[in-house]
Structure 1
Amino acid sequence: MFLKAPLLLGLIALGPHVCRSNFVDISKSTTFFAMCVEFAMFQFNEAHQDEYAYKLLWVGRSQRKRWTMTFLMDLEMGRTICKKYDEDIENCPLQEGPDEKKVDCTFVVDARPWFSEFTLLNSTCVQK
């Protein structure tokens, strides 16, 4: 019983430092981050009411939550002339003129890449 008390006190003292779950900057070229960007883009296109696909234009913030595989990203996307289910959307030109649309989104994705499992935890998008 007395041996457990110092352990408990140690966990209480170290807990806030060890359990901090702040996001930290990571490289945009990290493999798991790139997989999460692709997943977020797919989820956006699936959920978006528009019949046209959006493609990635720019990656802003690229972060990972400490000690986890949860990724935070800011993405700018543009509306293409291709439909959602067309192939090779990455090479599809952007719409121009009155149909041109761009959107800025922040996504939080939890990844279990070794099981090919990804979960969109949060998404917030604003039309530009």
Structure 2
Amino acid sequence: MIRMSITCFDAPERRPGKNKIWLVDLGGSERVVKTKASGTRLDEGKAINLSLSALSDVINALQRKKHHIPYRNSKLTQVLKDSLGEDSKTLMLVHVSPKEEDLCETICSLNFATRAGSIHLRQEESKVS
């Protein structure tokens, strides 16, 4: 995870605005049966899959507008908590493989990205007649 903090100054008021950009690489979440991973690589893959599962739970709760959002289920979601709220914007890049043997993993990745992309937290602006 890489965090870039940006402080901007509004020219007329010289009032600072603070923003964060997170770069999170969740690569390596392949299926254990397929990769035959063991040892440290297996542990890393399990941790990534748990983080993705927790992120999926948070996305699901946000999408359903639940009162309890399970941010505390993972270090990833704890760190990203204020970046997943109403005043944030999220861009997700998903790498997909052109190989037929990676089809299952590609479909899972695209389904995850589709669910994440369908979330709109901001209230619709009221229309003035």
| Structure 1 length-normalised TM | 0.23
- Whose relative contact order is higher, 1 or 2, with alpha carbons under 8 Å and at least 6 apart? 1
Larger Rg: 1
Please state which structure has a larger fraction of its residues in helix. 2
Please state which structure has a larger fraction of its residues in strand. 1
